[in-house]
């Protein structure tokens, strides 16, 4: 502990912009159902959507010192990803740190712990996905790391990975796969548009792709009430 990596490879701007056009559920599917940070990381206010390059921070329980250290490493387009080394429901982050990040162009925060000042953060439009909303403050006593890999929401996040977040939660896309996943997301959205159109016409998914046959093979039985 106690390491700040200063040069990291960030995800390319165009890859971030491409991925930012899609929702979290679409991207998660498009990369083979990997990288979702789980249902416990929730937006502190509804309707937010962000995409950016991960700048990772590990923090001791109830100690936000390393977030102050991380501010200096941030660039325009980054997203701070903060993971405590031991579970904590403290409020590591509030409006003042958001102000410091906002002037550097940081797009938002993902934290596997608590956040506070939610009224002020919503007013300034700084989006946060957190496990808790908590007024509990933190100390500045113990070191963590900046820009080493962290486990956040049970997923490994490397610095420079792409983070996308919306009301469904947060997904991480490895930097090297960002362009391919954006492409796959676009293709998936195209397919979904076709399905949506067919569903609107009343078509059943059962009637496509041999689904009725597969169900029958598995043993699905349709019964009248009398048999049940």
Minimum separation from the CB atom of position 80 to a copy of itself (A): 14
12 vs 156 by CB, closer to a copy of itself = 156
Residue 137 within binding range of a copy of itself, rule CB under 8 A: yes
How many angstroms separate the Cα of 41 from the Cα of each of 19, 33, 143, 161, 194?
Answer: 20, 17, 24, 18, 31
* Residue whose structure tokens are 């906002």: 102
CB of 115 to a copy of itself, least distance (A): 9
Residue 13 found at the interface with a copy of itself (CB under 8 A): no
Instruction: List the one residue from 147, 161, 174, 181 that touches a copy of itself (CB under 8 A).
Output: 147
Instruction: Return the H-helix or E-strand segment holding 78.
Output: strand 78-84
> Site for a copy of itself (CB under 8 A): which residue of 20, 21, 100, 180?
100
Q: How many residues does the chain have?
A: 228
Residue that has been written with the tokens 């002037």 in this structure: 103
Q: Which of residues 30-49 bind a copy of itself (CB under 8 A)?
A: 32-33, 36, 38-39, 42, 45-47
1 contributes a contact to a copy of itself by CB under 8 A: yes
187 binds a copy of itself (CB under 8 A): no
Counting contacts by CB under 8 A, is residue 189 touching a copy of itself?
Answer: no
Query: Which one of residues 12, 21, 156, 180 is an interface residue with a copy of itself (CB under 8 A)?
Result: 156
For CA atoms 205, 211, 215, 221, the dihedral sign is positive
How many chain residues interact with a copy of itself (CB under 8 A)? 95
- Alpha-carbon distance values, 50 to 21, 79, 87, 162 (Å): 9, 9, 25, 10
Query: For a copy of itself, which residue of 116, 126, 161, 178 counts as binding (CB under 8 A)?
Result: 116
Nearest by Cα to 34 from 139, 198, 172: 172
Residue 17 found at the interface with a copy of itself (CB under 8 A) = no
> Tokens 């039985």 sit at which residue?
221
Residue written as tokens 């610095």?
159
Task: Give the containing element (helix H, strand E) for 146.
Answer: strand 145-146
The answer to whether 132 and 113 are in contact (CB under 8 A) is yes
The region of 12-20, 99-107, 172-180 touching a copy of itself under the rule CB under 8 A is: 99-107
Q: Return the number of the residue (46 or 190) whose C-beta is nearest a copy of itself.
A: 46
Pairing of strands 150-152, 155-157: antiparallel
Kindly tell me which residue out of 99, 105, 176, 187 binds a copy of itself, with binding defined by CB under 8 A: 99
Among residues 62, 80, 110, 178, which is the contact residue for a copy of itself, using CB under 8 A?
Answer: 62
DSSP state of 58: E
Shortest gap between Cβ of 47 and a copy of itself (angstroms)?
Answer: 7
């Amino acid at each position: 502990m106690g390491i700040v990596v200063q040069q990291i490879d960030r995800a390319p701007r165009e890859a971030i912009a491409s991925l930012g056009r899609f929702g979290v559920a679409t991207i998660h599917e498009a990369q083979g159902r990997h990288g979702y940070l789980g249902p416990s990381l929730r937006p502190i206010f509804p309707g937010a959507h962000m995409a950016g390059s991960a700048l990772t921070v590990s923090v001791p329980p109830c100690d936000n010192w390393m977030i102050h250290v991380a501010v200096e490493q941030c660039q325009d387009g980054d997203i701070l990803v903060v993971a405590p080394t031991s579970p904590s429901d403290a409020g590591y982050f509030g409006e003042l740190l958001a102000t410091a990040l906002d002037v550097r162009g940081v797009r938002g925060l993902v934290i596997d712990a608590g956040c506070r000042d939610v009224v002020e953060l919503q007013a300034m439009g700084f989006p946060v996905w957190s496990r808790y909303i908590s007024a509990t403050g933190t100390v500045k006593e113990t070191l963590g790391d900046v820009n080493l890999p962290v486990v956040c929401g049970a997923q490994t996040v490397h610095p420079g990975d792409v983070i996308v977040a919306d009301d469904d939660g947060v997904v991480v896309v490895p930097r090297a796969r960002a362009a391919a996943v954006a492409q796959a997301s676009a293709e998936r959205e195209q397919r979904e548009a076709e399905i949506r159109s067919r569903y609107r016409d009343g078509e059943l998914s059962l009637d496509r792709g041999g689904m009725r046959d597969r169900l029958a093979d598995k043993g699905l039985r349709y019964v009248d009430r009398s048999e049940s």
